Amino acid sequence: MKILVVNAGSSSLKYQLFDMETGEVLAKGLCERIGIDGKITHKRPGKEDYSKETELKDHKAAIELVLSLLTDPELGVVASADEIGAVGHRFAHGGEIRQSSILDDEKLAYLESIVEINPLHGPPAISGFKGCKAVMPDVVHVGVFDTSYYSSMEEKAFIYPLPYELYEKHKIRRYGFHGTSHRFVCAEACKLIGNKDAKIITCHLGNGSSITATVNGKAVDTSMGFTPNDGVPMGTRCGAIDPTVVPYIMKKEGLTPAEVEKLLNSKSGLLGVSGVSSDCRDIDAAAEAGNRRAALTNEILTHNIKKIIGSYVAEMNGVDALVFTAGIGENNKTLRQNVCRDMSYLGIKIDEEINMNGPRGEILEITAPGASVRTFVIPTNEEYMIALDTLALATK
Ligand code: AMP
């Protein structure tokens, strides 16, 4: 079966068409500036990329264009849209939906009901789904939710120590995000160590970062919370801070709730501390050139990642494998080295030579000889995970 995976953002729509018999990506691309003007970039393996600026008034127009390219006699990869057996949609937030699900009216109504706790990602994901459904009404549409991996967490891990009524009234709890990525790399790590019941810590470190603890294939804890702004400091998000700092900043700086939210989400993290950039590469270059705050930014990031890893080892009473993934986790060797340094007490020790010089873009084991914890770099593949879930539900 061929499966189309769609990831709709506020003004963008990413797509990948998989042939599930071979696992091959037949085509992928990106629609940008939806609702502003519009541009599509369409890629096929071994062929030249195609790019065109064209009006895209909404997500429906974007998916119509995607389908016309996928079936185009020259640029296409299928003879007709009928060859596409199902569509998988990425949802960053599924609230308390426990697993990937067929998107029927009831699920859609639930997703619409939780837009208030997911104002950034919810509306575009819903409008992306509605656009696809209108254009492809006869195939199964499946929702894959970043949050549902965390439905296995116990209450002690997801209830905040706030008045309990706030959970009951407003559903304020730890949800966790990036679950599809953590689920994918964790499953790969379990295969690599030949133990599906292992205790695994997965570090998804990118522009957004989260760390997850998994035992027996079930998430037991994660660093992101009610929103993706918790845990590790990120590109522009602060991650975990003393909550009382927030009203204090509002008072001192005379900020409204929307303004302080912007400060915490868009002006903090690596950008906020370094004053240089939200991108690790720029921060590394500045640190090398002697910028003290850039060097401090890297120290803060390393310190916080270490702290979370240590807390998860304590929580799980051990760890069998540690995994690094996403932009920083897969590419920033120095950060991996600094995070794993001085953790031999926990059994974590990496081979610095392999870590520094091993190949990129593929699975790499960086465990030092004799270390009891296996450490890996595993490229994430959320789209393939979405396609697998979609296939399972479409062929049930
Ligand atoms: P992501 O959100 O997963 O795309 O990750 C973005 C982050 O990954 C940015 O901070 C980048 O600096 C970092 N990153 C991406 N590619 C590289 C690279 N080749 N070397 C170092 N860092 C990288």
**Closest by alpha carbon to 393, among 200, 140, 47, 119?**
140
CA of 193 to the centre of ligand 1 (A): 27
Nearest CA to ligand 1 atom 18: 331
* Cα separations in angstroms, 22 against 3, 18, 25, 26, 218: 12, 8, 9, 10, 28
Cβ 328 under 6 angstroms from ligand 1 = yes
Query: Per the structure block, which two tokens stand in for 144?
Result: 């894959």
Ligand 1 proximity of 331 Cβ (cutoff 6 Å) = yes
**pLDDT number for residue 163:** 98
Quick one: which of 17, 60, 70, 16 has its CA closest to 38? 60
Cβ–ligand 1 contact at 298 (below 6 Å) = no
Q: Which residue's CA is the nearest one to ligand 1's atom 8?
A: 327
Strands 84-91 and 2-8, by their bridges, are parallel
Residue 10 is predicted with a pLDDT of 86
Residues 355, 356, 362: CA angle, nearest 5 degrees: 60
Q: Which of 207, 236, 336 to mutate to test the pocket of ligand 1 (most atoms within 8 A of CB)?
A: 207
Fold assignment, 2-151: Nucleotidyltransferase; domain 5 (3.30.420)
Q: Is 66 exposed, middle or buried (0-12, 13-18, 19+ CB in 10 A)?
A: buried
Task: Encode the chain (396 residues) as per-residue pLDDT tens digits.
Answer: 999 999 999 899 999 999 999 999 999 999 999 999 999 999 999 999 999 999 999 999 999 999 999 999 999 999 999 999 999 999 999 999 999 999 999 999 999 999 999 988 999 999 999 999 999 999 999 999 999 999 999 999 999 999 999 999 999 999 999 999 999 999 999 999 999 899 999 999 999 999 999 999 999 999 999 999 999 999 999 999 999 999 999 999 999 999 999 999 999 999 999 999 999 999 999 999 999 999 999 999 999 999 999 999 999 999 999 999 999 999 999 999 999 999 999 999 999 999 999 999 999 999 999 999 999 999 999 999 999 999 999 998
Q: Which residue's CA lies nearest to atom 20 of ligand 1? A: 331
What is the token pair recorded at 280? Answer: 């690790």
Burial-class residue 370 by CB neighbours within 10 Å (0-12, 13-18, 19+).
exposed
Closest ligand 1 atom to residue 278 Cα is: 10
The CATH code of domain 194-382 reads 3.30.420.40
327 lines ligand 1 (CB under 6 A): yes
Q: What single-letter amino acid sits at 228?
A: P
Cα 44 to Cα 34, 67, 76, 78, 139: the distances in Å are 22, 14, 9, 12, 23
Q: Which of 72, 105, 138, 146 is catalytic?
A: 146
pTM beyond cutoff 0.85: yes
Residues 6+ apart with CB under 8 A from 252: none
User: 94: Cβ below 6 Å to ligand 1?
Assistant: no
The one-letter amino acid code at 23 reads G
Nearest alpha carbon, ligand 1 atom 19 = 331
| Domain positions in the chain | 2-151, 194-382
- Dist. CA 275 → ligand 1 center (Å): 18
Q: How far is the CA of 281 from the centre of ligand 1 (A)?
A: 7
How confident is the model at residue 120, as a pLDDT?
85
Distance, in Å, from the CA atom of 380 to the CA atom of 378, rounded to the nearest integer, reads 6
Judge if the beta carbon of residue 326 lies within 6 A of ligand 1: yes
Residue 58 sits at the vertex; the CA angle it makes with 55 and 60, to the nearest 5 degrees, is 105
